[in-house]
Amino acid sequence: MTAAALLLALAQPFAGAGPAADCLALRHRGENIQADHCFLRLASAAEPWARAEGLWGLRRYREANEEFRRAVAERPRDPDRKVRWGRLLLERFNPGEAAELFQEALRVNPRHAAALVGLALVAANGFEQKAVELARRALEADPACVEARVLLARMALEDGDQERARAEAAAALELWGEALDAMAVLAAAEWIADREPGVWLERALRVNPRYGRIYAVGARFLVLNRRYADAVQLYRKALELDPALSDVRSELGINLMRLGRDEEARRQLERAYDEGHRDAPTVNALRLLDGANNFVLEKQGLLELKLHRKEAAVLGPYVRAEATRALTALQSKYRVRLEQPVRIELYPDHEDFAVRTLGMPGLGALGVTFERAVAMDSPSARKPGSFHWAATLWHELNHVVVLTRVNNRAPRWFVEGLAVWEESQASPEWGERLTPEILTAIREKKLLPAADLDRGFVRPSYPGQIVVSYYQAGKLCEFISREWGFEALLRMLDAFAARRSTSEAIREALGITGDEVDRRFLAWLEQSLRVPLEAFPTWRERMKRLAEAARAGRHEEIIREGPAVRDLYPEYTEAGSAYELLAAAHLAVGDKGAARAELERYARAGGRDPAWLRQLGELEREAGRTAEALAALRRWLYVDPMNEEVHRRLGDLLLEQGQAEEAMREYRAVLALGPTDLAAAHYALARACRAAGRIEEAKEQVLAALEAAPGYRPAQKLLLELNR
Amino acid sequence: MRGLALASLALLGGRIGLAATYWVILGGLGGDADYEQRFAAWVREAEKICRGSAGDVQVVALSGGRATATGIRALFGELSRRVRPEDAFVLLLIGHGSFDGYQYKFNLPGPDLTAEDLAALLSPITAERQLVVNTTSASGASIEPLRKPGRIVITATKSGLEKNATVFARYFIEALRDPAADADKNETLTALEAFRYAGQKTARFYESQRRLATEHPLLEDTGRGQGVRLPDPAGGSGRLAASFALLRLGQAQEAARDPARRALLARKERLEQEIDLLKYRKAAMDAAEYRKQLTALLIELARVNEELEK
């Protein structure tokens, strides 16, 4: 075969790129100098499309965009031009306009395979289920479409379906023996399975000795499998082979940031930025790193706390105490000894947390664990009552412990399921709520088999499926623990660590098939939720009537009807719950005892509205039930720790009970919050210090109180007492 | 309408010889039932607190259909004849305000009152110490027309462009009843203390609700400024507000009338001044020496107070 014929044959897979096919074929082979010459020639061609492709190849993106605009204006009915322009926009971080161009191409030719692939890529990048369907439609339109096959392989691997991923990649290689991206997926599957992908590396590098992307693709899959440190190693190898991969450099930077290696992260991100890779994650991550001075890092024992300056003094003691409690309990339970420090970062701005996690704002999660680094929302990032910071902390720290035990090798559903279940083990009031959305999913038989449950997390097929999957995973772990004991969960972890699939792990650890577990689990779940599952429509109707009665002030009717409505769905504690309506009605008729009892039920069921928890604390205190009042205030503290009042009330009650050291902690928090009444806050702390026998500290505090308010009589009296 | 205003004045009660504090509390147009109810409740609450405070306090409160431009003009006409230079005068505006780019308006049933109208109404009031607390939306635009030497102007918003309904009024009224607002615990709530309390609570409200703050309260008491968010008497802004007693909370003033205790009170006052001076010198002093001197002065002050209480 002559060189020209070889090039012609090689360029076939790039035929859709029109004038750029030959140049892309050279680049595919790693012949970058020749490829650049080729693109340079195109850039000065007479045809706008050729110029556009040439400029794109030379990374002169703005000019390429302009030339594509001309090329499309010249031949507005040519779908190929629209698709190529769309691909440029997709590459340059504009998926919205890219999708519009793919749609326009499909309006001209509804079976345009490359346009369907383009749309599938946009959807796949957003982990949307419709990406699979679009890729299949592309294959129907053109059974030889290699890119569609590779995309299906990639998505199967994202879903954890190694078998299907390998089959699709193999089919792609059947179509074109040099499909490097297919080899990359196959290599990634090997890395996930803890095997060296020697054969695929060798074959790919034979085609293109500078094909660094094979490592980068593997790294992306390791990230999806929570193996961030391993991913960093692969990103480095990718850059060794091809240092010009600035998108890969940016990903390396973001993953270094996830692991808490901020300095190197910044260096890599800055270099990617300087090389022209200025997508939103790179820019956002650099901005976040620029704000590092706003945070303080406190190291003590195994814990490294990174907290915002303005809230470190308030939250630090609570987070440290809760983290210590959680890590002690979980290490013992999971028989893990953490040798390296655990880093916990709290972000008062949710978007900072999102950028820290994904590089992009808009993340729905509350916390994320990157091996031994936990990043989460600070309580001040959310509306008081909507976020239980301690439950989230336990959840994330459970990931740290469990992932250490299995060396980061376990499916997502199991890791999340254990964490959700452990929240409820820390306190029955914590854990995933049974929302109406989840009840509906169970009623409509939308739960996934255990073997496919990862799909519910990675590629949800209906709104709310991620939340449903968390709940299901947590309940499944609870069920396994009840039926086979906690040891069975540990056996499953060991099986996963040994790279068993979910079906295999179930068989090894429980001695039955995955199908049998699914069947028994569903029966158990439906039985345990029988009342709300059956009564849900009735409950909804009756709740409406109860709310109407509340609006009209018909307290007696609420008191009469409310308990039955509440018991139809006792897990419902969200705003406007039957508990709240009942408590309000009891208070309106002056029955504080009944209101207290109702609010106790509410709190035990997981109710978290700060106003009601405050009310409960007050009612308990008035009734002389100090222990219960303290419990109510502590619940309030878990959902609203930036509130000065909760600390003050808790401090007062603890001091009354002679728990002076604990009271001191609360009063210190009041002071750290910058109280409205500075003098009273110092005075309260002075009293607690005196009660704890810390006379010198008491003197300091009373002096501070009087410095702020020299005429403050109670503080003056204490000053005289302390100086007698 | 005139009859209504005069009926309100009848509530002022008898005068005594000492300087009085006049409170005029106006509740504007709500626009809907919810706001009507809220504004009326705030007016009632502020009125109740003021009437219950110590000293000679004269209160007039108008809200709902009674708070019209005509009624308010009549009320101010009457007040201009009664209020004396040694009295203190407080005007508290609760409700909605608007700003069209040129003029601030306090929204009332019927014709509104502009900030210029309010300034004209205040002009004949001879009280040398005046405070205007405008808690309405867009109130920042009223600073310029209302400011003058000897008058403190507090607004809920920093400009006329902050047009959303405000929460500042709620916290300003809370300051009047919460002992925590009396930051220096001298049983006198000053305008500055109330402003700081309400400003802090307003900021926290938006923070805790995770909402973008749509109001930024200002205080202007120099007669020439644009208003400041964080007044600092040492730097000039807030000095007048720090000396403007809004409410007397305890019995401190009663003691002043007992000749037997005057010597102790004089000593107390001297000690308080010495403490203030010491605090001003703090930055330039050795920390241990400062602490030693402060402790000594505070102990002495505490003993004087103990004597006064006997």
Statement: residue B10 has pLDDT above 50: no
Minimal Cβ distance to A677: which of B183, B187, B295: B183
pLDDT, residue B207, reads: 87
Statement: residue A293 has pLDDT above 70: yes
Place of tokens 């059974």: A143
Let me know whether A653 and A680 are in one domain: yes
Chain A nearest-CA residue for B182: A677
User: Where does the pLDDT of residue B9 fall: very low under 50, low under 70, confident under 90, or very high at 90 and above?
Assistant: very low
Q: Is residue A486 situated within a structural domain?
A: yes
Mean pLDDT calculated for residue range B150-159 = 96
Contact between residue B39 and residue B95 where contact means Cβ atoms under 8 Å apart: yes
pLDDT, residue A680, reads: 95
A676 vs B contacts (CB less than 8 Å): 180-181, 183, 197, 200-201
Residue with the larger pLDDT of the pair A460 and B144? B144
Exposure string of A126-138, with b = 16+ CB inside 10 Å and e = fewer, is: eebbebbebbebb
B302 vs A contacts (CB less than 8 Å): 706, 716-717, 719-720
- Least trusted range by pLDDT, from A508-512, A654-658, B13-17: B13-17
ipTM: 0.76
B210 vs A383: CB contact, 8 Å cut-off?
Answer: yes
Let me know whether A311 and A414 are in one domain: no
Let me know whether A524 and A417 are in one domain: yes
pLDDT digit string, tens, across residues A548-587: 999 999 999 999 999 999 999 999 999 999 999 999 999 9
- Shortest alpha-carbon distance between residue A325 and chain B (Å): 28
pLDDT digit string, tens, across residues A385-440: 889 999 999 999 999 999 999 999 999 999 999 999 999 999 999 988 899 999 99
Q: Is residue A381 situated within a structural domain?
A: yes
- Least trusted range by pLDDT, from A349-363, A571-585, A615-629, B115-129: A349-363
Distance of CA B205 to the CA centre of its chain: 21
Q: Is residue A103 situated within a structural domain?
A: no
Q: Is residue A224 situated within a structural domain?
A: no
What is the enclosing helix (H) or strand (E) of A300? strand A295-300
B185 vs A709: CB contact, 8 Å cut-off?
Answer: yes
pLDDT digit string, tens, across residues A494-552: 999 998 999 999 999 999 999 999 999 999 999 999 999 999 999 999 999 999 999 99
Let me know whether A311 and A398 are in one domain: yes
Residues A291 and A557: their CA atoms lie apart, in Å, by 55
Chain B nearest-CA residue for A384: B208
Q: Which two tokens stand for residue A137?
A: 């439609």
Place of tokens 């004045």: B9
Residues A106 and A91: their CA atoms lie apart, in Å, by 20
Let me know whether A379 and A477 are in one domain: no
Mean pLDDT calculated for residue range A452-477 = 92
Let me know whether A372 and A396 are in one domain: yes
Statement: residue A344 has pLDDT above 60: yes
Let me know whether A505 and A416 are in one domain: yes
pLDDT, residue B257, reads: 57
pLDDT, residue B7, reads: 38
Q: Is residue A10 situated within a structural domain?
A: no
Neighbours of A553 (CB within 10 A): 10
Q: Which of A407, A422, A456 is the last residue of a domain?
A: A407
pLDDT digit string, tens, across residues B174-222: 999 999 999 988 888 999 999 999 999 999 999 888 788 999 999 999 9
Q: Which of A528, A551, A583 is the last residue of a domain?
A: A528
DSSP designation for B99: E
Residues belonging to chain A with any Cβ–Cβ distance to chain B shorter than 8 Å: 380-384, 642-643, 674, 676-680, 703, 706-713, 715-717, 719-720, 723
Statement: residue B5 has pLDDT above 50: no
Minimal Cβ distance to B272: which of A710, A719, A720: A710
Q: Which amino acid is at B223?
A: G
Minimal Cβ distance to A720: which of B185, B197, B299: B299
Statement: residue B91 has pLDDT above 60: yes
Q: Which of A461, A493, A528 is the last residue of a domain?
A: A528
Range of the structural domain that residue A351 is part of: 294-407
Q: Transcribe A128-154 into DSSP letters.
A: -THHHHHHHHHHHH-TT-HHHHHHHHH
B184 vs A720: CB contact, 8 Å cut-off?
Answer: no
Chain B nearest-CA residue for A641: B208
User: Where does the pLDDT of residue A356 fall: very low under 50, low under 70, confident under 90, or very high at 90 and above?
Assistant: confident
- Which ranges in A75-145 belong to alpha helices (H)? 79-91, 95-108, 113-125, 130-141
Contact between residue A309 and residue A347 where contact means Cβ atoms under 8 Å apart: no
pLDDT, residue B17, reads: 46
A703 vs B contacts (CB less than 8 Å): 291, 294-295, 298
User: Where does the pLDDT of residue B3 fall: very low under 50, low under 70, confident under 90, or very high at 90 and above?
Assistant: very low
**Length in residues, chain B:** 310
pLDDT digit string, tens, across residues A93-133: 899 999 999 999 999 999 999 999 999 999 998 888 899 99
Place of tokens 């790179």: A282
DSSP designation for A370: E
Q: Which two tokens stand for residue A206?
A: 């034979």
pLDDT, residue B18, reads: 60
Q: How many domains does chain A have?
A: 3
Instruction: Output the average pLDDT for chain A.
Output: 94
pLDDT digit string, tens, across residues A241-257: 999 999 999 999 999 99
Statement: residue B4 has pLDDT above 80: no
Residues A120 and A138: their CA atoms lie apart, in Å, by 9
Statement: residue B12 has pLDDT above 60: no
Let me know whether A395 and A467 are in one domain: no
- Shortest alpha-carbon distance between residue B195 and chain A (Å): 11
B187 vs A711: CB contact, 8 Å cut-off?
Answer: yes
Distances (CA, A) of A309 to A554, A668, B46: 49, 16, 38
pLDDT, residue A10, reads: 47
B197 vs A676: CB contact, 8 Å cut-off?
Answer: yes
Statement: residue A217 has pLDDT above 60: yes
Q: Is residue A656 situated within a structural domain?
A: yes
pLDDT, residue B211, reads: 86
**Secondary structure (3-state) at A498:** coil
Looking up residue A386, the CATH number of its domain turns out to be 3.40.30.160
Mean pLDDT calculated for residue range B240-247 = 91
Q: Is residue A80 situated within a structural domain?
A: no
pLDDT, residue B14, reads: 40
Residues A270 and A289: their CA atoms lie apart, in Å, by 11
- Which ranges in A339-435 belong to alpha helices (H)? 350-358, 389-405, 412-426
Residue with the larger pLDDT of the pair B10 and A140? A140
B185 vs A713: CB contact, 8 Å cut-off?
Answer: yes
pLDDT digit string, tens, across residues A52-98: 999 999 999 999 999 999 999 999 999 999 999 999 999 998 999 99
Let me know whether A480 and A370 are in one domain: no
Q: Is residue A490 situated within a structural domain?
A: yes
Surface-to-core class of residue B90, CB atoms within 10 Å of its CB (0-12 exposed, 13-18 middle, 19+ buried)? buried
pLDDT digit string, tens, across residues B37-84: 999 999 999 999 999 887 789 999 999 888 999 999 999 999 999 999
Looking up residue A663, the CATH number of its domain turns out to be 1.25.40.10
pLDDT, residue B233, reads: 85
User: Where does the pLDDT of residue A361 fall: very low under 50, low under 70, confident under 90, or very high at 90 and above?
Assistant: low
Minimal Cβ distance to B295: which of A703, A715, A717: A703
pLDDT digit string, tens, across residues B255-267: 555 667 778 888 8
Let me know whether A422 and A378 are in one domain: no
pLDDT, residue A360, reads: 65
pLDDT, residue A148, reads: 96
Let me know whether A467 and A400 are in one domain: no
Minimal Cβ distance to B183: which of A382, A706, A708: A708
Let me know whether A418 and A428 are in one domain: yes
Residues A410 and A504: their CA atoms lie apart, in Å, by 12
* Interface size, chain A vs chain B, as Cβ–Cβ contacts under 8 Å: 78
pLDDT, residue B234, reads: 79
